[in-house]
Amino acid sequence: NTSADNASWVITSTLLGSAVAMPIAGKLADMYGKKPVLVATSAILLVGSLLCALFDQLSLVLIGRVLQGVAMGYLPVAMSFVRQVLPKPMVNSTMAAVSASLGVGGALGVPISA
């Protein structure tokens, strides 16, 4: 029971949040470490998901979706974490698997969850 414009804003708000958060999350991970940034972005994702799940007002859903987009800042941090943690022979295949799952997840998850 919403307009196409509202649904479009719900999807766009997530993308805007992620575009802003990705470079900032990378810098914060360099300054404070990867683990605190991964934990913080997971908490932000939880809050955004709860907002979207519990409320049906457009303004609250938009805020929740922006928070979910901000949580996408964990992607570059997770990629660098893979390089740091895994043995060198496993890095390329793991990075490919992570990239593929992110592509499929992003392509399907954002519109389906909206």
* Per-residue buried b or exposed e for 63-102, using 16+ beta carbons within 10 Å of the residue's own CB: bbbbbbbbbbbbbbbbbebeeeeeeeeeeeeeeeeeeeee
For the segment 4-12, the average pLDDT, to the nearest whole number, is 88
Considering the chain, what is the average pLDDT of its residues? 88
C-alpha to C-alpha distance for 72 and 6, rounded to whole angstroms: 22
Mean pLDDT of the region 24-47: 93
- Predicted confidence at residue 21, as pLDDT, reads 92
pLDDT digits (tens, 9 = 90+) for 64-110: 999 999 998 888 888 888 888 889 899 999 888 888 887 787 678 76
pLDDT value at residue 113 = 65
Estimate to the nearest angstrom the gap between the alpha carbon of 106 and the chain centroid. 9
Say what the pLDDT of residue 110 is.
65
